[in-house]
Amino acid sequence: MVAEFGEPGVENATIMDLIEVDLVSDEVVLVMIERRPWGADPRQLRQIEEKINRYLAYALDGHLAEHYPQYQGKRVAIRLDCAAAPAGEALRFVGAAEHAMSAHGVGFVVKVTPPGP
């Protein structure tokens, strides 16, 4: 599948990295993966923004429920999994994204998972 669609991650806006259901909140969580350090690529925030926009469209335009009828009517959240906490410009970007998505009824959260040894 990687040969056909490319690697998952925010650099590839054409694929959904991961879809989970949070067992506590019962939300459908659309997960984006960012493996690079913040500021490693000048295109990074634009790439994340593009992926966020595609994820939002996927959920809000009904494609998520169409592809996964069992998720019909569930709340949706988008999660950005990254290796380090955002800082500086990235932190401002994340705050703006959270605010923008809440206006659409979609949650946004950043999950920091440092890489293993």
Could you list the beta-strand ranges (E) of 1-117.
18-21, 28-34, 76-82, 107-112
Contact 37, 86 (CB under 8 A): no
Instruction: Give 3-state DSSP helix, strand, coil % of the chain, rounded to 5.
Output: 35, 20, 45
- Give residue limits of the domains in the chain: 2-112
45-96 pLDDT tens trace: 999 999 999 999 999 999 999 999 999 999 999 999 999 999 999 999 999 9
Question: What band does 1 get if pLDDT is binned at 50, 70 and 90?
Answer: very low
Bridge partners, residue 54, by sequence? none
pTM: 0.91
